[in-house]
Amino acid sequence: MTVVDRFLQYVKFDTQSDELTNLTPSTPGQMEFARHLESELRSMGLSDISLDDNGYLFATLKGNVGREVPTVGFIAHLDTSPDMSGRHVSPRIVQNYDGEDILLNAANNIILSPKDFPELLDYKGQDLIVTDGNTLLGADDKAGVAEIITAVAYLQAHPEIKHGDIRIGFNPDEEIGLGAHKFDVGMFGADWAYTMDGGEIGELEYENFNAAVARITFKGRNVHPGYAKHKMLNSLRVATQYAIMLPRWETPEHTEGYEGFYHLVSIKGDVEETVMTYIIRDHDRDRFERRKKELEHLARKINNEFPGCASIEIKDQYFNMREKIEPVMHIVDTAIKAMENVGVTPKVQPIRGGTDGAQLSFKGLPCPNIFAGGLNFHGRFEFVPIRSMEKATEVIVEIARLVAQ
């Protein structure tokens, strides 16, 4: 079975996660998919297969070198984003893409166009897998799942390729930030691992944002607006005053690369009470801490003008895995060498987001992120070039070979 065959099979599973259920996995489709994969891994003859009640599936391909070498892990997540439906995914292969618009859905005139997504032109002449315009595709991260299993099958079929023990892991709920929370690093038992969860071909990431969420509550006082002078305190107005005190250009729409930001993700309220939620992101730990302090400082300024109006709660979400990867940079060097050996140009860049690998790195499992090949994640315009999936599979095989050397 090819990587494409597996991928087209896997996207049929509805595994959209849901942060509101407070369950692990958060949706039943993820466990259904995990059981399917468990059966497939057993049919392949892998060992140490385990699937726990939380939907974490582990397995081992035993080494064949006859000596002790490091155990390397490869990890992908089972869920798809809650941002768009992953139900009844109907993928289509566009062969030998000609560089023109791709009509995804004639009934609704949904078009995947290089005018809107110029990166399409990078894959002119290649075969692409696209959606029918009604759902996301699920390359994030079912492409990664398919690549890992296909690579393991290839190593089984080619015993002349020497490798140590290979651990594979599939986890739920990455898209809602919980993928690593119940991941048993000790049980997984790898010396290091790679998440196959990156984007376009060549991506290799070992830096990500430091992340926190801030919730600011503004208490108001409502009276009849006709008689409100010196009495009313409109929490909505105070909240907007707070918002404009933050730097205008330090927002997602004005930043790139290593630049951090404040991002207002929701505001809900009325005159009596308004709640604003911000996410705070920065690659630099010191700047990250200063950003949190700035939000607290602005809340104090509000309270100086309107005593007792504002209260703030800040919670850290995850940290930049770079500090955990740098002491073992050989694992990044190995991935770079593997890409080069299979004809892929490495694109080492920071993640402007988070990854399971960040949390796993802080739990003791250093875990850079490697491309799975998909683009335009989380929406109807998601697509994945077939060649990119094939090359990701080759990279996994080559990493296993290099580690054994």
173, 174, 203, 390: which one is catalytic?
174
Strands 203-205 and 369-371: antiparallel
Interatomic CA distance for residues 3 and 387, integer angstroms: 10
* DSSP letter for each residue of 88-142: T---EEE-S--SS-EEEETTTTEEE-TTT-GGGGGGTTS-EEE--SSS---HHHH
79, 197, 205, 356: which one is catalytic?
79
**Encoding tokens for residue 49?**
């297969």
Strands 310-318 and 210-219: antiparallel
79: annotated active-site residue: yes
**What would you report as the CA-atom Rg of the chain, rounded to the nearest whole angstrom?**
24
**Cα within 13 Å of Cα(93), Cβ side:** 11
141: annotated active-site residue: no
Q: Give me the count of residues in the chain.
A: 405
Three-state SS across 266-321?
EEEECCCEEEEEEEEEECCHHHHHHHHHHHHHHHHHHHHHCCCCEEEEEEEEECCC
**Cα within 13 Å of Cα(302), Cβ side:** 30
Helix/strand/coil for 396? helix
One-letter amino acid of 341:
N
One-letter amino acid of 263:
H
Which residues are catalytically annotated? 79, 174
